[in-house]
Structure 1
Amino acid sequence: MKKIMTFGIIVVTLGIFLLVDNMGFLLPCVRHIVFSWQVLLITIGIILIANRKLTSGVILILIGLCFSLPNVLENFVFDKNLTILPITLIIIGMGLIIHAIAKKKCRYYRCSDKKTFVETVTSEEWFVRRNYTFSHSKEKWAYSSLKNIEIETIFSNIELNFEQVRLSEEDTVRIKIISVFSYVTLCVPIDWKIKLNQNGVFVSFSDERIRSEIDFKKVVFLEIEGKFSGGELKCCV
């Protein structure tokens, strides 16, 4: 019901703007802003929030607002190129704040570790590639004989549980993550030795596992390539 109501409000609003525009009452400067791809992004973001995809929705809205500002402020005299970096930092900061608030709220209601993972289909293939775009996903993988994993995330919040993943018997196992404006959490078995290498722009991927004197059975090379992204490693529980 809430989704239908949100969509209905959007349709009514669009109809009102079209009516006012056809009657000649809509100012050209306002029309240029309303009927733009930036407003389309904001609209999609509102729909995503109505579908309980908070992170993706807020990111889209912030992007739409960011690129709408030059049109709104075009009558002011200043170099608009100077606003790109500050606004980008604001978007990143807002994303981090929203992520932290959502995570804190989930812990308060004791739902973070209790949320059910989406089970993936078991596979015998040695190579797996996954792409996530504007997604909020929590999955438990069940693959065997893996030796190469590639994950690409764009404007997403992903948590992957590798507890049931069986790696290849070969010495070299690689996981590569390409992340753009995303947050990735990997839950790995306690007997995996992870060698982490990360590079990019504003990338922070932390290892939150408890150190212990375990005879590691498998060495995994984890490569992170990111832009304005974060993530963490933690043990499966």
Structure 2
Amino acid sequence: MLEQFDITKRWPAKDASRIQLYSLPTPNGVKASAMLEETGLPYEAHLVSFATDDQFTPEFLSLNPNNKIPAILDPNGPDGAPLPLWESGAILIYLAEKSGKLLPTDPVERAEVLQWLMWQMGGFGPMLGQFGFFYAFGGKEIEDKRPLERYRAEALRLLKVLDTQLDGRDHVAGSAYSIADIAIWPWVRALITGYDAAETLKLDQFLNVKRWLKACMERPASQAAVNIPPRP
């Protein structure tokens, strides 16, 4: 059934009964791999290399016209039909509902988890991504430092919001580890491992965030996810 999807021409499935993950271990990519590792759903991962502009190939665009990772192709979607899906937040919700894990069934807790998932999707991830560009990548060559200062200030504000939420809590939302945690921790990790910005953003002052991040990263699924799919 997967043969009908052009993306499989560039990234053939070894086992067509498994979920196909097209990704790279960036913060957004790690969300999907961490979720798949946590749920235990059978899958195989395919590297979408930014170095060779894989995300702009006709095969990848046939699945995700927005040319972003991650994307998945589930051969056993609703009613048994294959389901192509992109956007990391949508993938997290879909996999949570498919597996029955990491998204509470209690309406109040479910709403809280989705609230913090949307907080990450709409603010935390995009703002930290912009900060990272201006601080660590191409934007650092720009003489006008106002863009960097704008995103640095917003990153600090959002970290304070997260730190306050985690005061006295083991998880971002609800009573257990959830897709809200999975959505957020890869972006906090990126401040340390990807942007080398821990000192600039004064991460040591956010004690609740540091405690929570350590617990999230100690999970076996998280430790595996940060290297899925392996970079060449």
TM bucket (normalised to shorter chain) is under 0.3
Give the helix-richer structure, 1 or 2: 2
| TM-score (structure 2 length as normaliser) | 0.27
Give the strand-richer structure, 1 or 2: 1
| TM-score (structure 1 length as normaliser) | 0.27
Structure with more contact order per residue of length (Cα contacts < 8 Å, sep ≥ 6) = 2
Decide which structure has the larger Cα Rg and report it.
1
